[in-house]
Amino acid sequence: MLIDFQQLPPRDSYPWLIGSINPRPIAWVATISSAGRTNLAPFSFFQGVCASPPTLLFTGANDRHGRKKDTIVNVEQVPEFVVNIVPYALREPMNQTSAPLPHGESEFERFGIAAAPSARIRPPRVAESPVAFECKVDRIVRVGEGPLAGNIVIGTVLCAHVSESVLDAEGHLDPRKLDTIGRMGGDFYTRTTELFTIRRPG
Ligand SMILES: Cc1cc2nc3c(=O)[nH]c(=O)nc-3n(C[C@H](O)[C@H](O)[C@H](O)COP(=O)(O)O)c2cc1C
């Protein structure tokens, strides 16, 4: 079976992409508007980029009317954001924050999610997230235009807040303690409790 993306409307391409490119890590992104209103939303088009400088990216797609999501509007106004890592224990509040609230209404306040101040930037972080990366926007790359087009936000990581509860005896992140979740296709998620190791050659 051949799926011809050049013939497919964007909305029909989407399930083939997210159903195959998985599991995807989830960036729970906190931002702030120039008016000082906070915002929190999950993004699974999310990846690390490189370590020098420490860099990550996430993509906020335009909505079906071609409008930018609040997160993108905010990073254009205040070019700073926090990526909060999502463990299994935070799956429900994370999902709540994907609701389309009116611009300016804070998901922190609406869903009673505790915020903690960031050290170097204005948007707060999620207090209960075990790892939170404070980032400043390096650049925003537009891909396509109109409904479902992408806004890739590339950020330089300034610092990270790491809970000692997710470290092993040597002080390294322990994946069993971190217990991150990944997004699959549809409403499916995966948990990272079934681990295996493979030694790299050389
Ligand atoms: C687990 C999960 C992952 C998501 N990933 C993305 C994504 O990568 N890009 C995107 O544009 N929307 C994604 N969404 C949808 C947004 O979270 C949703 O549109 C949200 O309302 C955007 O919030 P904002 O308008 O406050 O920025 C995801 C939703 C969930 C639940």
In terms of Cβ atoms closer than 10 Å to its own Cβ (0-12, 13-18, 19+), residue 85 is buried
Q: Cβ(44) to ligand 1 under 6 A? A: yes
Domain ranges of the chain: 10-191
Of 11, 44, 151, 189, the one to substitute when testing ligand 1's pocket (max ligand atoms within 8 A of C-beta) is 44
Q: What is the pLDDT of residue 202?
A: 87
Q: Whose CA is nearest to atom 20 of ligand 1?
A: 98
Residues 89-127 have pLDDT tens digits of 999 999 999 999 998 999 999 999 999 999 999 999 999
Residues 13-22 have pLDDT tens digits of 999 999 999 9
Q: Cβ(125) to ligand 1 under 6 A? A: no
Q: Cβ(95) to ligand 1 under 6 A? A: yes
Cα distance between residue 26 and residue 86, in whole Å: 7
Does the domain at residues 10-191 carry the CATH identifier 2.70.98.10? Answer: no
Helix (H, G, I), strand (E, B) or coil at 107: helix
Q: Cβ(41) to ligand 1 under 6 A? A: yes
Q: State the pTM of this model.
A: 0.98
